[in-house]
Amino acid sequence: MSLLEVKDLSKRFGGVVAVDSCSLSVPAGSITGLIGPNGSGKTTIFNLVTGFIAPDGGEVHFKTRSIAGLGPDRIYALGIGRTFQLARIFPRLTALENMLVPVRRAGLRALLSQGQWGHEKERAMEMLAFMDISQVAGTLGGALSYGQRKLLELAAVMMAGPELVLLDEPAGGVNPALLERIAERIRQLNQQGTTFLLVEHNMGFVMNLCHEVVVVHQGRAIAKGNPREVRENPAVLDAYLGT
Amino acid sequence: MSGTRTLAITPGRVTALKGLAMLLVAILALILPLIAPDPATTGMAVFTVMYIGLASAWNIMGGYTGYISLGHAAFFGFGAYSFGLMINHLNMAPGYLPFVLVPVAGLLTAALAVGIGWVALRTRAATFVIVTIAFMFMLQLLGENLVKLTGGGAGLALPYSHDWGGDFFNIPYYYAMLALAVLTIGVSWWIRRSKFGLGLLAIRDDEDKALAVGVPTRSFKLTAFVISAVLVGMIGAVYAYYVTYLYPQFAFDPLIGISMVLMAFLGGLGTVSGPVIGALLLEPAQMEFAYRFGASRLYLVFYAAVFLIVILLLPRGIVPSVADLVHSWRRRRQAGPTAGGSRNAPVSAGEEPPATAQQRLASP
Ligand SMILES: Nc1ncnc2c1ncn2[C@@H]1O[C@H](COP(=O)(O)OP(=O)(O)OP(=O)(O)O)[C@@H](O)[C@H]1O
Ligand SMILES: [Mg+2]
């Protein structure tokens, strides 16, 4: 059963067709990779699915409902989280406060109450410890290293317990040791029940981690399958070699 | 060594010191009319407390969300005129009773703020600033041109109590302004510590990222805007009752809008105490300046100078700068004995001391 189903999704920017009737699906419980050359439309697909931009056409289904046209905050509330290609955190909030922004806000009472932090702070500290960054809980986001930001962004997006998380280059620009840690954490979170769709240029990372891979080229999904099948698909080789 | 101990700034002591300072200020504010009952002092106090309220109310929008409104005088003037028109049309006798119209003026201002916010908050950054200014001038223009309603440029006269003569005249208004200032600071403090407030700060830092982690940014911004406007509108209502005569160019004065912004900037944007400190410093200074140099526009030069000094020397305002100073001083104190005590002391450079994390945990 697929958790996310994208059908004939299209988006153009002026003359540029960024996403061209693209269809793909993300099986529940999987780690699915989304790969493709630079400019092939991966980030745009993320922006369409999470409601940051409106599609020109096509459908997006999450579980049983259509989510195309909803705003990003609503989509997050429905259970889809995302991270950004260049780690984005709140620079003037501490790491711990960064963790508390995404918690669910149910109703006006919860919103205005001050006494409810206790439990959520505990969970936030656990999550920071899980990512091995609890020592920077009190540090301002702007003072963190790039690697710490990547970890914090991933930790924070998990706070509301999303069912599906879209990761845009989770291993981009980090050193090999950290890359290994990030892969391990994603695997653990997946085992605990979170489904992932991730964009990544590091092929080793994708091949190791993903159960299923979708290849996009010029805005279209041109191949899919398990990592080995995809690696041996001639169409994929063509796309990457730029023919 | 013991000398160091007594001087050490611990988080507990900072909190105690803050509490003590607040208590002293509160007591002073409450008994001020008893200590200095002369109208010159109480008159200055009315305006100072008014600006404490205005700057704090403005800060709920401008400081927390980072959306700089330069047109908040629109709500001030609207609250003032609402009050004036109500008291006149209801034929209310002057005295204490008309103060019940202040919250009503606040409600009317809320309705206006929902409308203005709905439009203005479709824009971001510089455009938002311009839109707020435009609305302010629109209201000023309406005030001047709806002559039948507002009296236009000839002004709108309000009744005032003849029983409140001499030294007493300022007192009821002073306490009304003080009550509103306390209310505003309370609301600001509450918001700063709530989930709602954290959402506002997240919007200030990165609005799209805030959306991505589920902050309903549109409704949060609008709510903050309306809360801020309502408080400003109520303060405008008391102002109207106090000055007893309203003119569009003074009620919808762009300088009132700029003053609250400047005070919040000077004290520290996005902090609870910053706008209070900014208003306490700037308003008496400005009144003194206006008094010495006549009612000329010379005090604009003063404002420009203050603004330049703030931007150049204290870009983040007094409160955050002082907090940083205390913080780094404390760290040096903590690091001092360790670093000096042994050459091989395991000082982990760049690591936050665990105390800091614990302390932040206690108060987000
Ligand atoms: N907001 C925008 N306005 C105009 N063009 C855009 C916009 N966003 C993306 N594009 C264009 O759409 C195409 C797809 O871009 P996108 O960022 O989705 O690619 P990508 O696969 O994420 O690339 P990369 O691997 O480099 O991150 C590119 O040609 C890009 O220039
Ligand atoms: Mg991209």
- The interface predicted TM-score (ipTM) is 0.91
Number of domains making up chain A: 1
Alpha carbon distances (Å) from B163 to A195, B94, B166: 74, 9, 9
Q: Calculate the CA B343 to chain-centre distance.
A: 50
Residue A233 lies in a domain: yes
Nearest C-alpha of chain A: how many angstroms from B249? 38
Residue B363 lies in a domain: no
Q: Is A15 helix (H, G, I), strand (E, B) or coil?
A: coil
Contacts of A100 (CB under 8 A, 6+ apart): A117, A120, A121, A124, A159, B195, B198, B364
Residue of B nearest to A155 (CA): B213
- Beta-carbon count within 10 A of A194 CB: 20
- Across the interface, whether the CB atoms of B358 and A117 are under 8 A apart is answered no
Residue B320 lies in a domain: no
CB B227 within 8 A of CB B187: yes
Give residue B165's pLDDT band: very low, low, confident or very high (50, 70, 90).
Answer: confident
Which residue's CA is minimally distant from atom 28 of ligand 1? A39
- Across the interface, whether the CB atoms of A135 and B354 are under 8 A apart is answered yes
B349 interfaces chain A, CB cutoff of 8 Å = no
pLDDT recorded at residue B356: 39
> Which CATH number goes with the domain that contains A34?
3.40.50.300
pLDDT recorded at residue A107: 59
Give residue B15's pLDDT band: very low, low, confident or very high (50, 70, 90).
Answer: confident
B351 interfaces chain A, CB cutoff of 8 Å = yes
Residue of B nearest to A161 (CA): B213
Q: Is A165 helix (H, G, I), strand (E, B) or coil?
A: strand
Residue B71 lies in a domain: yes
Q: Which uninterrupted H or E stretch holds B276?
A: helix B274-292
Residue B204 lies in a domain: yes
CB A195 within 8 A of CB A204: no
CB B235 within 8 A of CB B180: yes
Number of domains making up chain B: 1
- Across the interface, whether the CB atoms of A135 and B352 are under 8 A apart is answered yes
pLDDT recorded at residue B252: 94
Residues 215-244, chain B, touching A (beta carbon < 8 A)? 215-217
pLDDT tops 60 at residue B361: no
Residue B14 lies in a domain: no
Domain that holds residue A36: 2-92+164-241
pLDDT recorded at residue B298: 74
Residue A79 lies in a domain: yes
A89 alpha carbon – ligand 1 mean position (Å):
22
pLDDT tops 50 at residue A44: yes
pLDDT tops 60 at residue B188: yes
Residue A11 lies in a domain: yes
Pocket-forming residues, ligand 1, beta carbon under 6 Å: A 13, 16, 18, 36, 38-44, 85
Question: Which ligand sits nearest to residue A168's alpha carbon?
Answer: 2
Residue A75 lies in a domain: yes
pLDDT digits (tens, 9 = 90+) for A131-145: 999 999 999 999 999
Residue A26 lies in a domain: yes
- Which residues in chain B are closer than 8 Å to A77, comparing Cβ atoms? 214
- Which residues in chain B are closer than 8 Å to A90, comparing Cβ atoms? 201-202, 205-206, 209-210
Residue B164 lies in a domain: yes
Q: In a mutagenesis test of the B interface, which of A101, A103, A144, A166 is the best target, namely the one with the most B β-carbons within 10 Å?
A: A101
- For the full predicted model, state whether its pTM sits above 0.80: yes
What is the dihedral angle through the alpha carbons of B201, B359, B11, B21, rounded to the nearest 10 degrees?
A: 30
Render B163-197 in DSSP notation, one character per residue: TS-GGGTHHHHHHHHHHHHHHHHHHHHHHHHSHHH
pLDDT tops 60 at residue A157: yes
Gap between the Cα atoms of B35 and B342, Å rounded:
56
Domain that holds residue B53: 37-252
Residue of B nearest to A50 (CA): B212
Gap between the Cα atoms of B274 and B280, Å rounded:
10
CB B240 within 8 A of CB B81: yes
Gap between the Cα atoms of A195 and A185, Å rounded:
13
Q: Which of A108-117, B135-144, B241-250 has the lowest mean pLDDT?
A: A108-117
Q: Which of A62-76, A143-157, B305-319 has the lowest mean pLDDT?
A: B305-319
A42 alpha carbon – ligand 2 mean position (Å):
5
pLDDT tops 70 at residue B320: yes
Which residue's CA is minimally distant from atom 24 of ligand 1? A38
Per-residue burial over B21-34, b if 16 or more Cβ lie within 10 Å, else e, is eeeeeeeebeebbe
Residue A142 lies in a domain: no
